[in-house]
Structure 1
Amino acid sequence: MSTRSPLRCVVVDDNEINRLTLEHYVGLTEDLELVASLPDARAALDLVRSASPPVDVLFLDIEMPHLSGLDLVRLLPTPAPEVVLVTSHPNFAVDAFELHVADYLVKPVEYARFLKATERVGSQLRSASSAATTATAGTDSTDLFVKVNNKLVRLDFNDVLFIEAMSTYSMLVTEKQKHIVYITLKALEERLPFAHFKRVHRSYIVNTQRIDSVQDNMLQLGSYEVPVGKSYVEDFMKQLRGL
């Protein structure tokens, strides 16, 4: 279907048959990668908070014991993964769309409808990604426009210390501010025109011109510390020595 990286998804439903159905649908869909299938919304919340790489989309039942799907949506960290609610009761639709979920599926879910929801989520994420960064005129400029809170903001990337992955978004960190932009770290890495920004971890890109020191695979950038992932150490140290 696509050469794009698949969306990392989690299925959450306390009913095993429903979970198995959604797992089967995920397996049929090239644009999806199943990270976990869970019977409990509390476990899903813990996973979303800790997952690295982050989760892109939740296929989430509404009616579950202890913590409902709607309650889980309200507790998700910001920025949150896209959410597709799955329920037996269409009367939850108003609550669902007030929470700005990506889609709403009524059980029993047919694969064609599931695929349409997946395509909608993918389209939303791609639109956010393509609008996230726009280079300014002038090949020597270190300014880019980044989309922050639905507006384009000019940012001097000389001031950026590092960029951190946050779900389907990224956080640009300077000494004074943090900017959440609507683009994945992978897509941002591909679009950045500056050679001195290097991927050093699956969750971090650093501005090598702002590294103050390196010790025990930890980088000091201003008042922040950023880890160097094991798989990145050798290449990064070669690049650093060559700067």
Structure 2
Amino acid sequence: MLTCAIIDDDEINRLTLEHYVSLTPNLKLVASLADGMAGLAFFREGNRVDVLFLDIEMPHLSGLDLLRVLPNPPEVIITTARQDFAVDAFALRVTDYLVKPFEFARFTQAVERVSSRVGSSAPAGAPAAAEVPTRSDLFVKVNSRMVRINFDEVLYVEALSDYVNIVTDKHKYIVYTTLKALETRLAPYTNFVRVHRSYLLNTQHIESIEDNTANLHGGHFVPIGKSYQEGFYKSLQRI
């Protein structure tokens, strides 16, 4: 049984989520709150839950700002009408991102993801172990589209001022976020290493290294910055 809370300023949406929770045998609703400030007070009073269904756009304190101030948030399923906050949300390590209106089947899928992250012996609200991530993909906003990117397919990420260029074998995605935010999101995946102030590299795609340049699959090249070289070479398994 997973305990849960709902924070959403739209009453219809709250009632819909409450109904979905009531249809889910392994969920127990602890609180249903109308805004972020009420949610902040709930957690500061020492209340804990396993999963939080959280809206983003709310008066006084947004859902993302609430996550930023909580020292130890539970598993979070974002429930929002907006698609364009997905990158920021996943940078805060939310478990799933549901865009309203969503069906009960999609709600159930998100709950199953939480169940796989929260062990049966874990206390309510305990965060999933970072070293055992269960998601291997990320939704990013590219122009007006939300695109799913599989982490394993990413060759490298390049910083472009306020944007990043996410490069795979077949595509390049220009995304409005920072390299630091994406590095934080990918931290549990040990294949990703910062090798330059402007580059994040997926080491599983390295074919060779020459003159402090990593040669990747598909003829891609990534420079290894001087200040990163010692740590990078120490991390390699080499003879």
**TM-score normalized by structure 1?**
0.50
- 1:58 matches 2:16: no
- 1:126 matches 2:119: yes
Instruction: Give CA deviations for 1:119-153 in whole Å, capped at 9, x if unaligned.
Output: 10010112895xxxxxxxxxxxxxxxxxxxxxxxx
Maintained 8 Å contact 2:51/2:125 = no
Maintained 8 Å contact 1:49/1:77 = no
Q: Which residue does 1:26 correspond to in 2? A: 21
Identity of aligned residues (%): 58
Instruction: Give CA deviations for 1:61-114 in whole Å, capped at 9, x if unaligned.
Output: 000000000001101122x21111111111111111111101000000210000
Shift of 1:117: 0.4
Maintained 8 Å contact 1:103/1:117 = yes
Q: Which residue does 1:112 correspond to in 2? A: 105
Q: Which residue does 2:41 correspond to in 1? A: 46
Residue 109 of structure 1 aligns with an amino acid whose one-letter code is F
Match of residue 37, structure 1, among 29, 32, 41: 32
Q: 1:167 to 1:109 in 2, by over 3 A?
A: same
Cα distance in 2, alignment partners of residues 128 and 71 from structure 1: 30
Maintained 8 Å contact 2:49/2:74 = yes
Cα distance in 2, alignment partners of residues 181 and 62 from structure 1: 24
Instruction: Give CA deviations for 1:39-66 in whole Å, capped at 9, x if unaligned.
Output: 11111112123245x2111100000000
Match of residue 168, structure 1, among 117, 126, 138: 126
Cα distance in 1, alignment partners of residues 50 and 40 from structure 2: 13
Q: 1:127 to 1:166 in 2, by over 3 A?
A: closer
Q: 1:63 to 1:181 in 2, by over 3 A?
A: closer
Maintained 8 Å contact 1:11/1:37 = yes
Match of residue 93, structure 1, among 53, 68, 86: 86
Q: What is the RMSD of the two structures over their aligned residues, measured on CA atoms?
A: 2.4
Maintained 8 Å contact 1:12/1:58 = yes
Aligned residues: 130
Maintained 8 Å contact 1:13/1:40 = yes
Q: Secondary structure in 2 aligned to 1:35?
A: strand
- 1:67 matches 2:25: no
Q: Which runs of 5+ in 1 are unaligned?
A: 1-5, 130-164, 170-179, 183-243
Match of residue 77, structure 1, among 33, 58, 71: 71
Q: Which runs of 5+ in 2 are unaligned?
A: 132-239
Maintained 8 Å contact 1:41/1:64 = yes
